[in-house]
Structure formats: structure tokens, C-alpha cells
Structure 1
Amino acid sequence: MRPIMRLGRGFVRLEIDIWVSLARALTRRPDIAEGTPIRYAGAMSAILWAFIVVSAVEIPAVHVLIPWAPVRIVAVVLGVWGSVWMLGILAAHHMYPHVLDPGRLRVRYLRRTCLDIPLAAVRGVRHDLRAYDGPKSLQLTGTGQLAVVVGSSTNVRVELAAPHRFTTPQGDVTVRAIAFWADDPHAAVAAIRTAAPAPRAT
């Protein structure tokens, strides 16, 4: 019963995230505040737009091809809901980028995952392209690294001076490095090195 309840809560949270993200996109209010955004939406935008276009084509096709009115109505409703759902996921990728604040780096994925890294704790940062197995957006590796995965990959690695504890949707973890995806990894690395008190490559 508990797994079913957790699944239900996760679905409700995701549905809320989608509608909040859509509202932010429509009002042009990305969650950036005064920091510098480091975007990661490019890795998934083409795929999401492809799904959205296919869903948009399917809706009128279903209306024409299915002769039974009750079935047709259900199919159309599901098609519209699916299109809105994908638009919400796309909006979340754009509305919640990573953010480089004066004193911290916020590594995020959509609305739920946010890892606050104090810049004073950064020992080094570098471009490091890696691929990952599995569908999870958060993956803890055996090397003491927490990866925030987008499109099955990360391309920036931030080394910490000492193990640091982070709160994630999957629970608290203590790691020595954070890996994440940036659309422009070289610019992200340069910005973090400039902002960190004593940056140096690792």
C-alpha cells in the first residue's frame, strides 16, 4: 500500500509542478531572482517538441478516425491532457535553470530538485562529459558523486573541498562532487571559476 501512496503523491506533485511551470512560462517569470542562469533545457527541448507536435497531430486524427462518440471524447481529452503535460515539462526545463548566485551555485532539475552549493566549498570545476544508465534524474555514483542527469548525461563536474550534505527528493546524501548538464558547459565552468573565492581546475 505504501508504494502505491508514494506513487500517488509523486504523481500529484508532478501535476502541480507542471501547472506552476506553465503559469510561470505564460507570465514570463523564470525562477532566477538576481542570479545568472545556467541553462540545461537544450538537451531535451527537441525531443519534447517532437512529442508535442505528434500529440497535436493525433488529436484531430483521432476525432476523424474513431466513429464512437464516447470513445472519441475520451481519446481527445487524453490527447489534450498529454499535450498540456508535455508543454508543462518543457516549461519546467526553461523556468528552473541552474542559477549562479553571488554566494552559491544552485544546481536544479525542473521544480523539485535544487542543490545549493556554497561557492566557498568549491575546490574545483571542470568540463566532464559522462553518460549514465537508467531513467533517474538523480544518480549517486560509487565515487562519492551526485549526478543531476539530463538526457542521460552530465558535462560539468564540481569538486568540493570536503564532503557536503544535500537534501534531495530521494533523501539526504553526503558527497564530494556534483555533476550536472549545462547547454554551454565551457561558459558555465568559466562563470563558476570566476565566482568561486579560490577557483582552480581539478
Structure 2
Amino acid sequence: MRPVLRLVRRFCRFEVDLWVSLARAITRKPDIAGGTPIRYAGAMSAILWAFVVVSAVEIPAVHLIIPWAPVRMAALALGIWGLLWMLGLLAAHHVYPHVLAPDYLRVRYLRRTELAVPLSALRAVRPDMRGYDESKSLHRTANGTIALPVGSSTNIRLELAAPHTFSTPQGDLTSSTIAFWADDPHTAIGAIKAAIVKQHSEA
């Protein structure tokens, strides 16, 4: 029974996250307070937009095909919910980017997965393209790396001077290596390195 309840709670939280994300997108209030966004939505936007277009086409098509009014209304309601769900998922990829702040880097995926990496703890930042077999948004790899892939891939690797413990939806995870995806890894790496240099010069 408990696994079922956990699954229901997870689904409800995700549903709330999508509606909050859609509201942020409509009101143009991305969650980037205190820093510079590093986008990762590009890897998924085309796929999500394709689903949105298909869902939008299906709604009137199904409405015309089904002859029974009660079934037609149920299908219409389900179709509209599905369309809004996809729009919310698309919005979540845009309104919760990674954020580079003066003292730390917020490595994120959607609303609830976030690793606050202190810039003072970073030893190296480098490009590193890697693919992952599973579609999970948060991985703990065999070598101990914490990875937040987008589209089953990461392209930036952070190396910390010492292991650091992060609070995640999967519980506390400790690692000295973080991998994530950025749409423009070259620019992102340059910005992170510049932030590290600036922090050291002000220390």
C-alpha cells in the first residue's frame, strides 16, 4: 500500500509543479532570482512542441469523430487536460533553468530537482558529452557522479575539490562530480569559470 501512496503523492506533486510552471510562463516570471540563467530546454523543446501540436489537432478531430455526447465530452475534457499538461511540461523546462549566482551554481531539472554547488568548492569545469541508457532526470552513476541529463545526455562536468552532500528528491547524495546539460555548453563553461575567478578576486 505504501508504494502506491508514494506513487500517488509523486504524481500529485508533479501535477502541481506543471500548473505552477505554466502560471510562471504565462506571467513571464521564470525562477532565476539572484543569478544568470543557463538554459537546457532546447534539447527537449522540439519534441515537446510536437506533442503539443499533435494534442491540439486531436482535440477537434476526436470531438467530430465520436457520436455519443457523454463520451465526446469526456474525451474533450481529457484532451484539454492532456494539452495543458504538455504545455506545463514545456513551460517547466523554460522557467526553471540552471542559475549561476555570485556564490553558487544551481544545477536543476524542472522545479524540484536542484543541486546548489558552491563556486568555492569547484576545482574544474569542462565539456564532457555523455549519454545515459535510462530516461531518469537524476542519476547516480557507477563511478559516483551525480548526473542531471536532458534527453538522456549531459555535456558539462563539474569537479569539486572534495565530496559534497546534496539534498535531492532521491534523498541526500554525496559526490565530488556533477554532470549536467546546457544548450550552449561553451558559453556556460566560460561564464562559470569567470564567476569562479571573480569570486576568488573578491575574497
- TM class, shorter-length: over 0.9
Alignment of 1:17-166 (within 5 A): 17-166=17-166
Relative to the length of structure 1, the TM-score reads 0.96
The reply to whether residue 175 of structure 1 matches residue 159 of structure 2 is no
Equivalenced residue count is 199
Superposed CA offset, 1:149-191 (max 9, x none) = 1101000000000000001001111011110000000111111
Match of residue 3 from structure 1: 3
Tell me, what secondary structure is at the counterpart of 1:63? Answer: helix
Relative to the length of structure 2, the TM-score reads 0.96
Superposed CA offset, 1:62-94 (max 9, x none) = 011111111111111111000000000011100
Q: Give the AA of the match of 1:121.
A: A
Question: Which stretches in structure 2 are left out of the alignment for 5+ residues?
Answer: none
Cα shift at 1:144: 1.7
Q: Give the AA of the match of 2:184.
A: D
Q: Give me the whole-angstrom Cα distance separating, in 2, the residues matched to 1:16 and 1:170.
A: 19
Cα shift at 1:129: 0.6
Q: Give me the whole-angstrom Cα distance separating, in 1, the residues matched to 2:144 and 2:190.
A: 24
Q: Give me the whole-angstrom Cα distance separating, in 2, the residues matched to 1:13 and 1:105.
A: 25
Cα shift at 1:34: 2.6
Superposed CA offset, 1:85-138 (max 9, x none) = 000001110000000000000000000101000000000010111000112100
Q: Give me the whole-angstrom Cα distance separating, in 1, the residues matched to 2:134 and 2:81.
A: 26
